Chains A and B, each alone.
Chain A
Amino acid sequence: MIKVEKRSDVSRSIYFLTPVLAIFLTLFGGGIIFFILGFNPIEALKFFFITPISDLYGLSELLVKATPLCLIAIGLSFCFKSNNWNIGAEGQLIFGGIVGGGVALLFYNHDGFYVLPIIILSGAIGGMLFAMIPAILKTYFNTNEILVSLMLVYVAKLLLDYLVVGPWSNPEGFNFPETRQFSESARMPILFDGLRIHAGIFITLITVFLSWLILYKTYLGFQIKVSGLSLKTAKYAGFKGKTMIIIVFMISGACAGLAGVGEITGPIGQLHRNISPDYGFTAIIVAFLGRLNPIGIIFASLIVALTYLGAETAQIFLQVPKYTGQVFQGMILFFLLGSDYLLFFKIKFLGLKKNEL
């Protein structure tokens, strides 16, 4: 018979080390998969994890890819820490992109230093408002925020489809589903010639710092943490639950909206139907891999971004299927959850007792 027991004390250092363990196990598991596929595992892992970042361009691409993931995951950590399950960051990203993109189109052919800040701000507000829908429905009508936020992803996607096909489509674009390219004044400044890394990374770093400040140095952060640990305690302490739920959703939505606006004013430069390759969903993995901790999330976003780049280089150099990247992401999450389980629970193998036979 097998018995599962909860562990009474979990070491804090091991708690933060398990993600590292999960990554090593993933490397090991990935090596085995490459071996079965007939590749030299060391060579293949090198193509997957080293080659993509072996030059400045690669490093810049890594940051380009990690920037939105990090931003969204930081926002999500507020929700997840306080037991609010916002699954719709993808929708909030898209809605932020729509609002920001709309403003960018409004300022088409308009110069001025104020254009970009207005766009960024409106994108953040867009994401924030969109995230308030599940929050308000949850607090006042007791709806399930998982379902509402998830379904709103489709609403945002369809709205974007409608806009880029119809009213916002490029008048000179032969009806292709995309808007005009934004003017230069509406684009994120590129940091280095020839690379795509843009000023959005500063927004991300500032957000990381602010979120650390809020989570660990303010009363709100304390409320969030207590509500996450025990809702009853939070109530007993007299915290205003409803306000807090709405605030964490607002923060989360604003971060996702910023990520959306960063993508469209950064590497993309216009609105079309594919402004996000499911960043909002991948960021959920990032948030948990980073232990909902701002510093952890920075590292997690870099690692997950690397699995995307690695999948591309592995495809180019080894011709392995694109989906190996997703296999790696899946493995990271699997090993993380697996080691978490063993971290929090003890498994006891007991001999069969006579009377059970």
Chain B
Amino acid sequence: MYKLFLRSLISALFLLGFSLNANAEFKVGFVYVGPTGDHGWTYQHDEGRKAVEAAGIKTTYVESVPEGADAERVIRQLAQSGHDLIFTTSFGYMDPTNKVAKDFPNVKFEHATGYKREHSNVATYSARFYEGRTLLGHMAGKMTKTNIIGYIASFPIPEVIRGINAMTLAAQKVNPDIKTKIVWVFTWYDPGKESEAAQALIDQGADIIMQHTDSTAPVQVAEKAGVWSFGQASDMQRFAPKSILTSIIDDWAPYYVERSIAARDGTWKQQDTWHGLKEGMVAMAPYNSVMGDDLVKEVEQLQKDLASGKAHSFTGPIYDQKGNILVAEGAVADDGMLAGMNVYVKGVEGDIPQ
């Protein structure tokens, strides 16, 4: 009896909170893992949010939300304070997002880079960043003198390994002697660690630096050391104007606008989105003219082919480090294999941390 009373009291208060906070206006909330000023991952998500705002939809964001016990509360507060659609933009929000979604069936949730959609109001989305990596590999293979490519990696998850492999395969295609050296920093954003890693790779002979982390530190180190580099997540050209050949840009804006409008108009459906160059979720910053007209044209052509489906980042034959065949000649890797990728291809040095 006591428990029943308590339960109804709680739900009454919840409802009260609803009626006080919820107003008719449609609102979209965003949860960010970093500060909006990181000039990388979170910055790009916030650019997407601004596009939603520009489309006439009210938005709210909460930045630097730790991926621990706090995330659930922030997501719940957004749901409770009348937000109709909530984008949670980091992998670590996967379980909290699904937990809150269960309690708010009328609110839509979109979780970036995750794989759990436990309730019908949770969708997931990610981008085929590896297509951009293929372009970087092509340029790196052509531009390197030392044949060593330095790669700063965050966590040994399939997304990161996919990028390393796509880049290495493309570089090998134009330069069979290429070697990829990797430093794992086990962080998404730590300018100090990232610059140390960049320096260590340059000291080991790498004359190309690329990174699967979010800060601008690696390109700045590359600029100082006079080696080539690539921007990650956003156009980082202004941080290393001489060194950067191009940047992979995560362009979330069209997706965010489309999904927000769909949710507002009642046409939103659960889905798993994996968009790439074709849909524009992965875009390339302007190519640096120091590469020469010929190379720029080649890369532009490859970009078109990847977008149209004429070329694929993972076209066989692909071998693992021991020489076993992963993808047969003429075949392409399917999405299932890409999603669970956990081995290096031939030409990558070292082992995946396990």
Contacts and interface: CB of A to CB of B under 8 A. Distances in A.
Nearest to A54: B17
Interface string B70-101: 10111011101100000000011001000000
B21 to A, nearest CB: 9
B186 A177 contact: yes
Contacts of A273: 67, 186
A166 B13 CA distance: 44
Interface string B59-72: 01111111111101
Interface stretch (A73-81, A102-110, A211-219, A308-316): A308-316
Given A192-B6, A274-B92, A316-B78, A57 B14 contact: yes
Interface in A172-186: 174-177, 181
Nearest to B81: A316
Q: How large is the interface on A (under 10, 10 to 19, 20 to 34, 35 or more residues)?
A: 35 or more
Chain A interface helix/strand/loop/mixed: loop
Contact of B354 (A161, A166, A192, A194): A166
B67 A274 contact: yes
Interface residues of B, number: 47
A313 B77 contact: yes
Interface in A237-290: 263, 266-269, 272-277
Contacts, number: 104
B66 A316 contact: no
Interface string B100-144: 000100000000000100000000000000000000000000000
Contacts of A161: 186
Q: Which interface residue of B63, B68, B353, B354 has the most chain A CB atoms within 10 A?
A: B68
B92 A165 contact: no
Given A56-B13, A176-B157, A312 B68 contact: no
B63 A321 contact: yes
A196 B35 CA distance: 27
Contacts of B255: none
Interface in B17-60: 17, 29, 35, 60
Contacts of B77: 312-313, 316
Contacts of B29: 316
B16 interface: yes
B68 A276 contact: yes
B76 A57 contact: yes
A321 B64 CA distance: 10
A275 B78 contact: no
B340 interface: yes
B155 A176 contact: yes
A317 B81 CA distance: 9
Given A272-B67, A274-B92, A175 B158 contact: yes
Given A268-B69, A315-B62, 20 more contacts: A55-B14, A57-B13, A57-B76, A166-B353, A175-B158, A175-B342, A177-B186, A181-B95, A192-B10, A194-B103, A272-B92, A275-B68, A308-B70, A312-B62, A312-B70, A313-B77, A315-B63, A319-B60, A319-B61, A322-B64
18 contacts: A54-B17, A55-B13, A57-B10, A57-B13, A57-B76, A166-B353, A174-B340, A177-B186, A194-B7, A263-B68, A268-B69, A274-B66, A275-B68, A312-B62, A312-B70, A313-B77, A317-B81, A319-B61
Interface of B: 6-7, 9-11, 13-14, 16-17, 29, 35, 60-70, 72-74, 76-78, 80-81, 91-92, 95, 103, 115, 155-158, 161, 186, 339-340, 342, 352-354
